[in-house]
Structure 1
């Protein structure tokens, strides 16, 4: 049975890497193959496809769809950009912060698709302002200027004669002849080429900043990206007595500082790579009046977009309130350092019946009940009688049907079925025993090497498929060498989101690549260093604050299946 289960995993891994079948269809293979190979009966396999983690994913996405539907995310984005301004380094930081924050709550793909056009509009305005003001800046910073039309001969001619002859040159001469300067066609052309080159370089950096920030931001929350939910589902499935060690609050305490640190390192690296070491220029220190005028013009775009949105509507306010309440209830359910509300309410014999999925589904249902307004009633005439029609709800199923990525639900389920099959067939135990020589290697080195392996693998396969394949094997390995399973499962889950080098690695990369400004080499060069920085950051996190948060230095009783 171990060999048969291994065969299923290899087939699914090949299909996931090559995408010979759609990812969701490949995820359904255990329903067919496990019963045929006598690994698991069909009923047990099918139960793995809609577990608690799937419902948490669906509930979180429904809230994200409501936020997108009412453009609340765009309002947040423009608000932050108005605070940061448009100076190169600060503009880069502003877009990265907004993208990462939004990606914590809505899908990485949707965040990237929204932010890239906004960034392009701002950068284009900056570029146009530089081109328009460039000639004046080349001549002089003074207000009073004069120019002369001169013939090659010294004979003065009027404008009519110039048109007829066509043999003249234009020279721009300042009023103060001591500081005379002639702007030739060659100089003007070279200046425009330099501006165009700098604009393209900054556009590349901004595009990469957005797609990288979307991937980085997703790791901060349990619902931010699918691999996080895969981990929660795998831990709860393999170790049912773990005491809900992975919940929204515990994950946020571990992953949010990691995300912030990695985001700062990414900002510094992209700034060095695409803006250079001229930090005075990057931060806009000592700007000339013309440069300040350029900034104001670009800043005007952001202000204009904000004005177009108008005041917050009733629907936006209600969605924002529901979102804040959802996050608060997620945090306070089982915060760890104090008793949460779930330990007082909705429990029996000390066992809580409520999970993060319960809270997510509760607020999701409210979105279909609460109306989107109270004043926009339409009066209909039916048989001479007036009839009031209530406004639509905050969310309707038509919108959900269009925007919900149902394929991910099957992908999650396929991963859980695969993990269960590995456990039932004994494959996980066999693999763990084969990896016992790793016991001689220090745990930090094990974590670092495994993170590198996963970060490399996820460049070729989807991050969900990567975590689905690796986590059951890693848990068995950890048990075999008496290492806390979370010590390797947590960092490898984060590493699955470090898909920075290739356009095909993750949808945000593909979106920015489709705009045509980037080459594969641009992404590979920036992403390679960022992958290294990411692995080092995660290794640091797992050996410092995560160690005390999850008690990673001890082998937990819930992971001891043998009872010895």
Structure 2
């Protein structure tokens, strides 16, 4: 019997691939409509995405196969969804991130910030969180976590080593004092010394050894707790930092693409500047709450001690040793070289061009210089690709040196800041297909009439207050994203909630924004997101540790998103009114 279940477990992916389509096949057969056929495709893709029976990117190609066969869309129309403006923005942003990683610019930034914050427990935690969140805004959260965890491990090991050394020194000092006491005892009468030796001698030696062992155990336990808090702060900050910018994590780009797909006349409501205005304050609030919660959970309530206000001389020595570790790592990088400076300048230029292209409150450079009547010609993608092309043009070295080859000198041109071989190795091409699959699903739902059908079925929700709807959707998405990838979660939920909003005359952004941000609240399980898996692989954390810390953070995250939605975001996106660009049917006032 055990062998049978082991076989089932070993072949479970093949069983899912065969059984899921057959199990739901009665749906399009019993209800031979385009809506049912499109729903059948979405159900199969959702289950394959959740179980990962097939690679995520392969599942994303299903619309190319099924939509033409079901007469929902022709093959050319479906394929055009796989490389839209948003996909190119994703590629452009990643090319910049790859250049930053390639020249170790992110490591230099990380170490510089840690030198500023220092190594006192609470400040060290804050320093790593700030660095990780900032880097995750621009490069992938997986790469950020993979870089930050080894740095944190080195600092923590040095802190623990210094702590153990100071503890041992304290024990030696205590033993010396005991020896002086024994010398004083030698001046006492012989009879009293013999009595004291019998009563106290053996127990005293045992007590010293026991105290030493207990002290070491306490230090080990304290170190383990701090390691857990540091590991969690890195993976959580990587997820939170990605929320802040449009290119920080894939769900943000999916939202932009879905808005453009479902509401073509949306006046470019989601761009880099508008998203940053909404998401950056949200990420800051959530980051502060995370810092406070992890500090309470793993450092205790003694904030005065956590901030180093009551540090002893030995603790200051320990902190200095850890600080020297960071200083040495920084020295190894040396002074900034030309390629690092060039990449940094291009990065700053990219961010400035993104912010000033169409800020909203004043005419942007794109409107003034290129398209005064239409802001859809020059987009954030144009900027990203422009800077990306420069990375392949600008040389990585401005000084040409002759290289001797025998008796002849050979002059070679320096390589560019970025080459295609590096891009090919580091670019996650599967995400491009995931994005395209999501856009194809959204287009298929609209063409088949499934979106309209879902909208009519969800009209009873009009009786529920909008804040309650947004709060419940946040909880639902935050729970779902623990089991499925954030890309799959947003791809499945956004078209549905957009249809619901349109049906009940609610601003689509009022439900789409919180669902998108909630998809990044994957804090509870190691399998929920790659940063969680990376820190879990170091072996210091148990699943219960992540679940305990992550559960509270999920609640705090949902509350933070709800607060953001009903305060600054409401005026930023005019969420209290139903926009004209969403009124496709003309039913809403």
Distance 2:367 2:283 in 1: 30
Q: CA deviation at 1:287?
A: 1.2
1:227 to 251, 271, 274: 251
Change (3 A) 1:351 1:106: closer
2:74 to 18, 41, 55: 41
- Match of residue 86 from structure 2: 53
1:21 to 30, 54, 64: 54
- Match of residue 165 from structure 1: none
Change (3 A) 1:279 1:398: same
2:103 to 57, 63, 70: 70
Q: Does 1:403 align with 2:436?
A: no
Q: 1:212-291 maps to which residues of 2 (within 5 A)? A: 212-291=236-315
Q: 1:116-155 maps to which residues of 2 (within 5 A)? A: 116-138=149-171, 147=179
- Match of residue 316 from structure 1: 340
- Match of residue 218 from structure 2: 194
2:492 to 457, 460, 469: 469
Q: What TM-score does the superposition give when structure 2 sets the normalisation length?
A: 0.89
2:356 to 329, 332, 344: 332
After the TM superposition, which of the residue ranges 342-351 and 54-63 deviates more from structure 2?
342-351
1:82 to 111, 115, 126: 115
- Match of residue 542 from structure 1: 565
Q: Which runs of 5+ in 2 are unaligned?
A: 1-33, 187-200
Deviations 1:92-133 (A, max 9, x none): 010000000000000000000000000010001000001011
Deviations 1:202-231 (A, max 9, x none): 101110000000000000000000000000
2:539 to 496, 503, 516: 516
Distance 1:350 1:419 in 2: 25
- Match of residue 434 from structure 1: 457
Q: Does 1:32 align with 2:55?
A: no
Distance 2:173 2:285 in 1: 44
Change (3 A) 1:440 1:298: same
Distance 1:138 1:337 in 2: 66
Distance 2:234 2:202 in 1: 44
Q: 1:366-381 maps to which residues of 2 (within 5 A)? A: 366-375=390-399, 377-381=401-405
- Match of residue 300 from structure 1: 324
CA RMSD of aligned residues (A): 2.2
SS in 2 for 1:386: strand
Distance 1:89 1:529 in 2: 19
SS in 1 for 2:369: coil
Distance 1:220 1:141 in 2: 53
Q: 1:1-20 maps to which residues of 2 (within 5 A)? A: 1-20=34-53
Q: CA deviation at 1:136?
A: 2.6
Distance 1:351 1:25 in 2: 35
Between Structure 1 and Structure 2, the one with more helix by share is: 2
Distance 1:529 1:518 in 2: 17
- Match of residue 21 from structure 2: none
Report if the CA contact (8 A) 1:377-1:391 is conserved: no
Distance 1:99 1:135 in 2: 35
Q: CA deviation at 1:440?
A: 0.6
Q: CA deviation at 1:375?
A: 2.2
Deviations 1:363-419 (A, max 9, x none): 10110110111225342448x653310111101111101100000000000000001
Report if the CA contact (8 A) 2:92-2:384 is conserved: yes
Distance 1:349 1:531 in 2: 43
Q: Does 1:558 align with 2:543?
A: no
